[in-house]
């Protein structure tokens, strides 16, 4: 059901997209709009725009389309009249769940649980997933401090006016270059771009350095190990410092691959070290898989590549999982109802889609496909960077979750636009990286279509 290649009629955005952008501009800020899409005509790896341009989509709605556009299995699912009720009656899941809710969780999210986790809380997007994961860590930490879960009268009265000890001075440690969302709790742990944070009040929470590795990783093992050791050491210093200044670290949050911040990788040893530091200092360890989760690295979870039995206390997800939420170890479950709560607590119509997406991933062996395409993609990028050393550097990736650096920001942006006009939709990340975020159905021959076009773009530069 895929198209056989890009097909371009106009430069992008074309005239129809421009007219619609003008129309939408009367209603919203449209500075970020790339172009308008015809989602009915889009299929598989191809996104069709309103000017009838058909582009190979290597960005997939900021990495959130798991199995391509209009996958027949999903169309069939949604056309099934048995599911109409799920589409029109959105329940308050925390108080009045539908009959099939436990079964749906078991057959979908729990069928791909991270190691050591049998509990999952659904949410509706990456931000509320992380916000609630942070709250769960704070609650856990305070109960640990108390030695029991009975708040004092002072806790109860002070929390109502935003004061300690009820609203305690506790922090979440995050990393330079990390991105965990844009609501105010999440945003205090986000350090990717200034425009995300500017003018928004924040918390006095600590930031540690994320390793800045040299690629290919295999060629710089010694240098990279040193850099990671430095970062681990600084992380530990920061934890001690924040404890001393009366704002202890309740949890550490980290992406297995920093995505928005520029596709920064670190080794399994680094994450193991960090896990140990968290344990040593009594901090919860939260792995944010909002962008990395769902199969793009060749495994359901990027942290599986670390090979650990007990990789984390909390793992949050969204995007390709279609629903949001987080898995957690038993002790991270809030002790009382209504502590982790909101009106909807997710959306069963998204759980329904997710269950079918997981079926498709299994049936079509998509994780193996991703591993295969990912190798072809990364090797292709290595070749191109050998060919264009003045433009390209630092090709890196796991599965199809790949990236490459461009010599400077302006060149990066011009390459993105030129690629788009030739029928390849890509996204940027960090200061001057291009990130590759195809759907899981991106096969080896799609890699070659991409590489050919990318080569043409580079040749013209």
Binding partner at 168 among its own copies, ligand FES, none, C-beta below 5 to 8 Å by kind? its own copies
160 sits near its own copies (criterion: CB under 8 A) = yes
Minimum distance between the CB of residue 29 and its own copies, rounded to whole angstroms? 5
128 sits near ligand FES (criterion: CB under 6 A) = yes
Which of 9, 339 has the CB closer to its own copies?
339
- Choose, by CB under 8 A, the member of 108, 258, 349, 398 that binds its own copies: 349
288 catalytic? Reply is yes
| Set 221, 237, 343, 409: catalytic member | 343
Read off φ and ψ for residue 80, nearest 5 degrees. Answer: -75, 115
340 sits near ligand FES (criterion: CB under 6 A) = no
Identify which range of 159-167, 222-230, 403-411, 437-445 contacts its own copies by CB under 8 A. Answer: 159-167
Q: How far is CA 276 from CA 28, 78, 250, in A?
A: 46, 45, 15
Residues 327, 339 contacting (CB under 8 angstroms): no
Q: What angle do CA 398, 128, 310 make, to 5 degrees?
A: 50
343 catalytic? Reply is yes
Binding partner at 142 among its own copies, ligand FES, none, C-beta below 5 to 8 Å by kind? its own copies
Minimum distance between the CB of residue 86 and its own copies, rounded to whole angstroms? 7
Binding partner at 7 among ligand FES, its own copies, none, C-beta below 5 to 8 Å by kind? none
319 catalytic? Reply is yes
Widest Cα–Cα separation across the chain? 70
| Set 49, 51, 263, 288: catalytic member | 288
Q: Cα(446)–Cα(457) distance, rounded to whole angstroms?
A: 17
Q: Which residues contact 227 (CB under 8 A, 6 or more apart)?
A: 211, 212, 213
442 catalytic? Reply is no
Which of 275, 437 has the CB closer to its own copies?
437
> What is the full DSSP assignment across 18-56?
HHHHHHHHTTS--TT----B-TTT-BBTEEEBTTS-EEE
Identify which range of 123-131, 225-233, 259-267, 350-358 contacts ligand FES by CB under 6 A. Answer: 123-131
Which of 119, 375 has the CB closer to its own copies?
119
119 sits near its own copies (criterion: CB under 8 A) = yes
Residues 114, 306 contacting (CB under 8 angstroms): no
94 sits near its own copies (criterion: CB under 8 A) = yes
Residues 318, 65 contacting (CB under 8 angstroms): no
Q: Cα(460)–Cα(86) distance, rounded to whole angstroms?
A: 51
Region of residue 117 (phi > 0: left; psi between -120 and 50: alpha; otherwise: beta): beta
- Choose, by CB under 8 A, the member of 4, 162, 222, 460 that binds its own copies: 162
Q: Cα(446)–Cα(442) distance, rounded to whole angstroms?
A: 6
Residues at the interface with ligand FES (CB under 6 A): 124-125, 127-128, 183
Residues recognised as catalytic:
179, 288, 319, 343
């Amino acid at each position: 059901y895929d198209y056989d290649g890009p097909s371009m009629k106009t430069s992008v955005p074309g005239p129809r997209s421009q007219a619609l952008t003008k129309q939408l501009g009367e209603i919203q800020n449209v500075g970020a709009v790339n172009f308008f899409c015809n989602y009915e005509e889009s299929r598989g790896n191809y996104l069709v725009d309103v000017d009838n341009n058909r582009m190979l989509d290597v960005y997939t709605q900021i990495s959130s389309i798991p199995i391509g556009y209009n996958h027949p299995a999903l169309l069939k699912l949604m056309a099934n009249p048995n599911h109409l009720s799920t589409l029109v009656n959105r329940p308050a899941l925390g108080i009045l769940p539908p009959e099939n809710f436990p079964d749906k969780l078991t057959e979908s999210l729990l069928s791909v649980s991270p190691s050591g986790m049998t509990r999952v809380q659904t949410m509706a997007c990456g931000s509320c997933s992380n916000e609630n994961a942070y709250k769960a860590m704070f609650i856990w930490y305070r109960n640990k401090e108390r030695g029991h879960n009975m708040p004092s009268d002072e806790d109860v009265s002070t929390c109502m006016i935003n004061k300690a000890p009820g609203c305690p001075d506790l922090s979440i440690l995050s990393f330079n270059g990390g991105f965990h969302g844009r609501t105010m709790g999440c945003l205090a742990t986000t350090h990717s771009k200034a425009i995300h944070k500017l003018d928004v009040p924040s918390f006095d929470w600590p930031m540690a350095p994320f390793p800045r590795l040299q690629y290919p990783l295999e060629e710089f093992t010694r240098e990279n190990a040193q850099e990671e050791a430095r970062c681990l050491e600084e992380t530990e210093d920061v934890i001690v410092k924040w404890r001393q200044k009366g704002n202890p670290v309740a949890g550490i949050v980290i992406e297995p691959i920093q995505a928005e911040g520029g596709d920064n990788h670190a080794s399994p040893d680094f994450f193991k070290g960090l896990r140990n530091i968290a344990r040593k200092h009594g901090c919860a360890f939260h792995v944010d898989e909002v962008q990395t989760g769902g199969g793009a690295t060749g495994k359901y979870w990027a942290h599986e590549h670390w090979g650990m039995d007990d990789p984390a206390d909390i793992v949050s997800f969204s995007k390709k999982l279609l629903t949001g939420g987080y898995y957690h170890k038993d002790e991270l479950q809030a002790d009382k109802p209504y502590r982790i709560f909101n009106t909807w607590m997710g959306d069963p119509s998204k759980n329904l889609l997710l269950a079918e997406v997981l079926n498709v991933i299994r049936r079509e062996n998509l994780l193996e496909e991703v591993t295969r395409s990912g190798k072809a993609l990364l090797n292709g990028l290595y070749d191109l960077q050998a060919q264009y050393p003045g433009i390209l550097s630092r090709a890196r990736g796991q599965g199809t979750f790949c990236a490459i650096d461009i010599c400077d920001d302006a060149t990066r942006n011009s390459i993105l636009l030129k690629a788009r006009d030739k029928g390849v939709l890509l996204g940027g990340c960090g200061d001057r990286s291009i990130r590759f975020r195809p759907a899981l159905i991106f096969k080896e021959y799609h890699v070659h279509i991409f590489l050919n076009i990318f080569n043409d773009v580079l040749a013209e530069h």
